[in-house]
Amino acid sequence: MGTRSAGDRLVRRSVRYGGRWTVTLAAVALLGAAAGLLLPAALGSAVDAALGDGPHWWTLVACALVAVLIATDTLGDLSTGYGAARATSRLRGHLLRHLFRLDVRQARRHPVGDLVARLVGQAADAGQAGNAVVLGVIALIPPLGSVVALVLLEPLLGATLLAGLILLAVLLRAFVTDASTVTTAYQRTLGTIAGRLLESMGGARTIAAAATADRETDRILELLPELGGHGRRGWELLARAGARTAAVAPLLNLAVIAVGGYGLTAGWLTPGELVAAVRYAALGAGLGAAVAALNRLVRVRAGALRLAELTDLPGVPAGKLPLPPGRGVLTLRGVTVHADDGRPILDRVDLTVPAGDTVAVVGVSGSGKSTLAAVAGRLHDPDAGEVLLDGVPLHRVAPAALRRAVGYAFERPVLVGATVHEAVALALPADVATPPAGAPATAPVLAATRAAAVDDCVSRLPEGFRTPLARTPLSGGEAQRLGLARALTAERLLVLDDATSSLDTATEHRIARAVAGRHGERTRLVVTHRAATAAAADLVAWLDDGRLRALAPHRQLWSDPAYRAVFEATDGSR
């Protein structure tokens, strides 16, 4: 129920996003509908004038109404295109902003391919809301207006058309519900296929190395029969609705013509009024536009529901406080994080990282190292407990201040930005994020790339720091060093999550010295599998099954066989 309500709210939002183009469409469509209703009356009057001595300007009126219909059709097409484009663009922006406000764990539950399908396909469907609502309402005017016009001509004619329209409405009632269910299922299955495809493209080298391309192709395409079934069911429903309309509409026309013919012979109607009655019958019974409007509304609502499944998820509330002066004291108090199945990944962890110290986080796979690194800089919030930086809970710190204070470097960093310079300066304030004219880069970016030992790589690029990322060929180690340079612009806390795994020993040693810097310059939290890295740290936080088993220097812990066993699988050195 909640998602349906959110979907309806999103439909209303999309209508508003259409702005003046939706208003223009409403005005133009209403004018066209009015002209269409007036045209049969004008034609009937023109016929009576031609047969008698009535005014002959009714022919000019009919021609003018035809011209109005042509103009409104043209302007209507223009308004629908611009309105849908505007609404779709704003819906996509709204969805993207909300996705970035989600807890990282929530976002990861949806495959990237599925998110892209919603952003591209379902947002375009929902962006048609303004057009669908306006045209859906306008589609009711011709049949209802025809009933009124026929009642004014002869009440029996109006009653005949109304009875037929009620029958058609009953026949089409189930179409909306069934088509909505089928369309939603089709979109969901298509999103799943897109998600699998994107996953496979990301692992293309692994698939090629394992020679499992055929198996992976079968895995991606195994849902095609289900997708085809939903597609066929949708077309069957539309065809059935069209067939019912096509079957009833001619009978309804014949009934009105028969009653009108009798009225002509009985003297109730003039020849011109009979012509008008026949035209109104055709206009009222021609429900093809109404079926198309219903189908459009179904797709709009199905697309909005798919978007609402994401926008209805609660976003992470942004803090508003600046950070007070400080040197980067990190404190975790009773921090608990649960997996989706309720299992604790971190269990009541209490940890204080002194300002300026380096703390290595070690533990066997699955002990909660990366999760601790994630909550340390508020990539996501803990389920219980709190994390503080210089005495301020992270959830109360303004995002810009937090990102300036805390820098992250990952094993497989994703570089974001148009150019290399933007990728490194991502978290810097605007006044230092753009290099001055003639300068290769700003001072913080230059210092960070030197510290990350990637400045030589950047200098060899065709346009240096201004080289577009899309045209920058980077090895795994070079991308990792650029990600590290981005993190090194942080002022108080540096969180490294296995961020030097792709580097050679000499480069890693050089970077390790740069990361350490001067004692007290910046606090460092380093997730590592290497005993040498742990030995170089001031303290080691030893995680075991989600709990902090010990916080002590490496040399003190090394006497424990269980601690030494943590490194045996990856690094046997002391």
* Interval 46-73: pLDDT, tens: 887 777 666 677 788 888 988 998 999 8
Q: pLDDT (tens digit, 9 = 90+) per residue, 183-200?
A: 878 888 887 887 778 777
User: What are the chain's domains?
Assistant: 2-311 (1.20.1560.10), 330-568 (3.40.50.300)
What pLDDT was estimated at residue 21? Answer: 92
Phi and psi at residue 391, in whole multiples of 5°? Answer: 85, 0
Triad 459, 462, 465: Cα angle to 5°: 50
Q: pLDDT (tens digit, 9 = 90+) per residue, 382-418?
A: 999 999 999 999 999 998 888 889 988 887 788 888 8
Q: Is pLDDT above 60 for 229?
A: yes
| DSSP code, position 321 | B
Residue with tokens 């046997």: 572
Q: How far from each other are the two terminal CA atoms of the chain, in whole angstroms? A: 58
Of the two residues 531 and 241, the one the predictor is more confident about is: 531
The most confident of the ranges 207-216, 445-454, 513-522 is 445-454
Say if residues 172 and 210 touch (Cβ distance below 8 Å). no
CA distances from 297 to 3, 177, 291 (A): 17, 11, 10
Say if residues 353 and 329 touch (Cβ distance below 8 Å). yes
Mean local confidence (pLDDT), 458-480? 82
Local confidence band at 86 (pLDDT 50, 70, 90 cut-offs): very high
CA–CA separation, 20 and 180 (whole Å): 28
Of the two residues 183 and 289, the one the predictor is more confident about is: 183
- Number of H-type helices and E-type strands within the chain: 24, 10
Of the two residues 348 and 269, the one the predictor is more confident about is: 348
Local confidence band at 3 (pLDDT 50, 70, 90 cut-offs): low
Q: Is 518 helix (H, G, I), strand (E, B) or coil?
A: coil
Say if residues 451 and 514 touch (Cβ distance below 8 Å). yes
What pLDDT was estimated at residue 572? Answer: 43
What pLDDT was estimated at residue 574? Answer: 38
Say if residues 310 and 132 touch (Cβ distance below 8 Å). no
Bridge partners (DSSP) of residue 527 are: 361, 497
Of the two residues 207 and 247, the one the predictor is more confident about is: 207
C-beta atoms surrounding 163 within 10 Å: 12
Say if residues 554 and 535 touch (Cβ distance below 8 Å). yes
What pLDDT was estimated at residue 520? Answer: 55
Q: What is the dihedral of CA 421, 427, 429, 435, to 10 degrees?
A: -10
CA–CA separation, 503 and 456 (whole Å): 15
What pLDDT was estimated at residue 573? Answer: 41
468-474: long-range contacts (C-beta < 8 A, 24 or more apart)? 468/418, 468/419, 469/415, 469/417, 469/418, 469/419, 469/420, 469/422, 469/423, 472/420, 474/415
Mean local confidence (pLDDT), 303-329? 87
Of the two residues 563 and 253, the one the predictor is more confident about is: 563
Q: pLDDT (tens digit, 9 = 90+) per residue, 525-569?
A: 988 888 888 888 889 999 988 899 999 999 999 988 989 888 875
Average pLDDT of the chain, as a whole number: 82
- Of the CA atoms within 13 Å of residue 405, those in its CB half-sphere come to 26
What pLDDT was estimated at residue 274? Answer: 78
Of the two residues 100 and 386, the one the predictor is more confident about is: 386
What pLDDT was estimated at residue 505? Answer: 64
Tokens of 528: 């590592």
